[in-house]
Amino acid sequence: MEKEMTLPMFGRYPRIDRMELSTVLKRVDASRESMVSFLSRIISIPAIGPVSGGTGEMEKAETLMSILEEFGFEDIRRHDAEDIRVPSGKRPNIELFLKGESSEKRFVVITHMDVVPPGDLSQWTGDPFKARIENGRMIGRGVEDNGQAMTASIFALKAIMDEGLTPEYDVSLFIVSDEEESNEKGIGHLLEEGLIRKSDLILVPDHGDPEGRVIETVEKTLLWLKISVKGKQCHASMPHLGRNAFRASMAFGTRVDKALHERFDLKDPSFDHPFSSFEPTKKEPGVSGINILPGEDAFHLDCRLLPDHSVEEVLRVMRGAASEVESEMNVSISVHPVLTETTLHPTPSDAGIVRLLMKAVEKVTGSTPVTGGIGGGTCAALLRNHGFEAAVWETIHNRAHSVDEYIEIDNMIKDCKVMAVMCFESID
């Protein structure tokens, strides 16, 4: 005789009994191969934004729409944003809606379909856009960021629908574009259209830890900078006739790195990385010949600032270092902010979405979650700065943007169960 599924007790389910919930969770377990197949198909379609040289998310969105219709979902909505930079002229945003017993509140899950480029293909052990299964893991670009969460949320809703049950509240799954580049054509567009409400219980499953215990309620300020150095180009055999911008760039980078880390040395253990970070990342192409002394050079910094550190003070430190190098090496240096997302309003640890998520995680896993902060950035930061309360949570190994990005398939199943439970739990 099959043993009855047991669940840790914490509160009570408002509409369904334990046996009904048990059938939902069993259906999730039975969907394992379907979930793997779905995610494998989705990641085979690159959805790279125009800033990174891609054509956008339209092909992936159309495939998703077709699959969702095949699954039997009846209320599938599109909220596209205009964008002349992509061939379709649009950046698609999908909403999957399921009616609940109450419309007083709405449980909202926001995932994204766009991915970052794979980078150096020679470093991958296989095709980044062809999923591989090895030792319980799925490997491929976008499986963690953000395919696992997208799959888990869709199949949680599918399990509920297939069981003929009705969630406690209305449920909207938003699958958005442009998360990796600016959020302007994705969650930013949804906000402009008034599609997110202050009463919504918003989950952004786009960061977490391997145990699924950390609920992120605050992010560091995100600051992307471009540093441009101008000198004078000449033949490399006659350096006295020029001013080497590359050398000046290296000198500035070394000096400003030291200055920033000395000035901003505050430690906050509530964050996954407890310090502010200042990382040189993207390097602009330089001269094409070895025998050319470069007259221009440019590189980028990715800065993640603790809440007590300000963008203005970072820029002051950098411009001070730039002035010193300009004077010493007879070059000009500009520091240009490319993107700034300032942390203004953390989500309170007793917010409705946090309480709802804590109950569901404890029911499914038996562990008690904790709240904390991350370097960011997810679209939750944008939501919080517009006055919305959002929680970020997922069970992942933080392989996003890396070579051989992977997920543990068991984690995807567990996260799917947590989201299914959230659809029936009351925050009272």
Q: What is the CA radius of gyration of the chain?
A: 24
Per residue in 286-343, pLDDT (tens digit) is 999 999 999 999 999 999 999 899 999 999 999 999 999 999 999 999 999 998 888 7
Q: Are 141 and 118 in contact (CB under 8 A)?
A: yes
Mean pLDDT of 86-110: 97
Can you list the alpha helix ranges (DSSP code H) found in 224-334? 245-263, 311-329
Same domain, 271 and 363: no
Query: Is there a catalytic annotation at residue 193?
Result: no
Residues 114-123, mean pLDDT to the nearest whole number: 96
Whether residue 13 has pLDDT greater than 80: no
pLDDT > 70 fraction of the chain, expressed in percent and rounded: 96
Mean pLDDT of the chain: 94
Domain ranges, residue 289: 221-341
What is the pLDDT, as a whole number, of residue 12? 43
End-to-end Cα distance, the chain: 37
Asked if residue 131 and residue 244 are part of one domain, the reply reads no
Model pLDDT, residue 109: 98
pTM: 0.85
Residue 189's pLDDT is what?
Answer: 98
Task: Write down which residue in 310, 341, 372 finishes a domain.
Answer: 341
| Residue 62 reports pLDDT greater than 90 | yes
To the nearest 10°, the Cα dihedral for 378, 382, 385, 387? -100
| Domain of residue 313, CATH code | 3.30.70.360
288 shares its domain with 385: no
What pLDDT band is residue 244 in, cutting at 50, 70 and 90? very high
| Overall average pLDDT of the 102-120 stretch | 96
Indicate whether 417 belongs to any domain: yes
Domain boundary residue, one of 317, 341, 365:
341
Domain termination residue (choose one: 280, 308, 341): 341
Whether residue 304 is found in the same domain as residue 407: no
DSSP E strand boundaries for 73-131: 76-78, 81-82, 90-91, 94-98, 102-112
**Number of folded domains that form the chain:** 2
* pLDDT above 50 (res 366): yes
Residue 12 lies in a domain: no
pLDDT tens figures, 247-270:
999 999 999 999 999 999 999 998
Q: Which residues contact 367 (CB under 8 A, 6 or more apart)?
A: 211, 212, 213, 361
Tokens 């994204």 map to which residue?
112
Co-location of 215 and 229 in the same domain? no
Residue 114 is a catalytic residue: yes
Same domain, 176 and 296: no
pLDDT at 380 over 50: yes
The residue annotated as part of the active site, out of 114, 170, 394, 425, is 114
Q: Are residues 208 and 229 in the same domain?
A: no
What pLDDT does 15 receive?
Answer: 61
Q: Do 200 and 291 share a domain, yes or no?
A: no
Q: Among the options 83, 168, 179, 408, which is catalytic?
A: 179
Cβ proximity of 260 and 317 under 8 Å? yes
